[in-house]
Amino acid sequence: MVRHKMIIQWTCCCLALLLGSIVMAAPPATEGAERTRKDLDEIRKISTMIGSEVRNKANEKIAGLDDLVMASDGSIHYAVLSQGGVAGVGASYFAVPWSLFDVRHANGKWAVYLDSSKEALAKAPTFKDSAYKDLMNIEWVTRVHDFFYPRTGKETQTKVPAALPMVLRASKINDAKLKNTQDQDVGELVELLLDRNYRAAYAIAGRGGVLGIGESYIPIPWSKLRMNYNRENTDITAVVDATKAQLEQAPLVKETTYATMLAPGFAGQVDRYFGVDSSKP
């Protein structure tokens, strides 16, 4: 009888340990899926931000947002703003550090705010090079930094950034040819989708169709892309480590709203297909 009770107790202990291990193992997968879902809680197209009006706290228009300069990790270095001119001719262009903006997105529309007057912004350093290559010049970058983060006595409010090794313009990325590591043409990038932290989360590659009719769209995690930069003309070629056959089997979105990306589990499916661990930030 005693032996029988001991066997029952031992069995119960084993079951408790087993169930405990299952409960402990479940949260990471759930947290990873939840993190991905929350980060891409809306469809934020970078193409619709370009062309937005930039307003100040008094809701006065102070500039237009002409482009964004991206970092290789998908974050944004600068917004390129413009003032004056007609159809872009005779306009002045400025690089403003992204951290200075208050950006909001709701119902597919952007609201971009900068705490400045139109007259104050007009005094900022302007681009001398139409391809924004000035951002690769440390002296020019320092002037921009000192203008937007004025010196207060002995120190500056923020660390002076280094000159950029390359100028990854969002407008160029959105029109970049897509190649694989075998140097085969496999499509072109047509859009970047930003997450809730305004980082590039996915690039949308167009495939097939004529003049956009019948075209299919492949969402590719930003982390799986490499951007090759041409210093002469600032053109960009995107490279993905995938064969043509692999891309042909990749998850697709067929509408230009890209709303499929918000379907339950779809972003996770895309991540898994391209070998991205969604549980990691």
pLDDT of 244 above 60: yes
Amino acid (one-letter) located at 105: H
Domains defined for the chain, CATH in brackets = 46-148 (2.30.30.240), 174-273 (2.30.30.240)
What is the reported pLDDT for 212? 53
The pLDDT of residue 87 is 62
Q: Residue 139 above 60 pLDDT?
A: yes
What's residue 90's pLDDT? 81
- pLDDT of res. 210: 47
Question: Nearest-CA neighbor of 132 among 47, 192, 69, 87?
Answer: 69
> Which pLDDT score, from 0 to 100, does residue 39 have?
76
Give strand pairing partners of 111.
104
Enumerate residues 6+ apart whose C-beta is below 8 A from 10. none
pLDDT at residue 259 tops 90: yes
- As a whole number of angstroms, the distance between CA 186 and CA 179 comes to 5
The Cα–Cα gap between 112 and 104 comes to 7
Average pLDDT over residues 109-138: 95
Tell whether the model's pLDDT for residue 33 goes beyond 70.
no
Helix (H, G, I), strand (E, B) or coil at 201: strand
Q: What is the pLDDT of residue 18?
A: 34
Q: Which residues pair with 207 in a beta bridge?
A: 216
Which segment of 37-41, 203-207, 243-247 scores lowest on mean pLDDT?
37-41
Mean pLDDT over 26-52 rounds to: 65
163-194 tens-digit pLDDT:
999 999 999 999 999 999 999 999 999 999 99
Q: Which residues of 89-116 are buried (b: 16+ CB within 10 A; e: fewer)?
A: eebebbbbbbeebebebeeeebebbbeb
Task: Kindly report, residue by residue over 192-201, the tens digit of the pLDDT.
Answer: 999 999 999 9
Give me the amino acid identity at 33: A
Global pTM?
0.81
Model confidence pLDDT, tens digit, residues 217-241: 999 999 999 999 998 888 999 999 9
- 């970047």: which residue's tokens? 192
* Cβ within 8 Å of residue 185, ≥6 positions away: 177, 178, 179
Q: Among the listed ranges 11-20, 70-79, 152-161, 170-179, which one has the minimum average pLDDT value?
A: 11-20
Which residue in 266, 275, 251 sits closest to 37, CA to CA? 266
Distance, CA of 28 to CA of 35 (rounded, Å):
10
Strand 216-221 vs strand 200-207: parallel, antiparallel, or unpaired?
Answer: antiparallel
45 forms beta bridges with 193
Write the DSSP assignment of 119-159 as a string of letters: HHHTTS-B-SSTT-GGGG-HHHHHHHHHHHS--BTTB-SSP
Length of the chain equals 281
Following CA atoms 256, 261, 267, 269 in sequence, which dihedral angle do they give, to the nearest 10 degrees?
-70
- In whole angstroms, what is the distance from residue 7 CA to residue 59 CA? 76
**Tens of pLDDT, residues 100-113:** 999 999 988 999 99
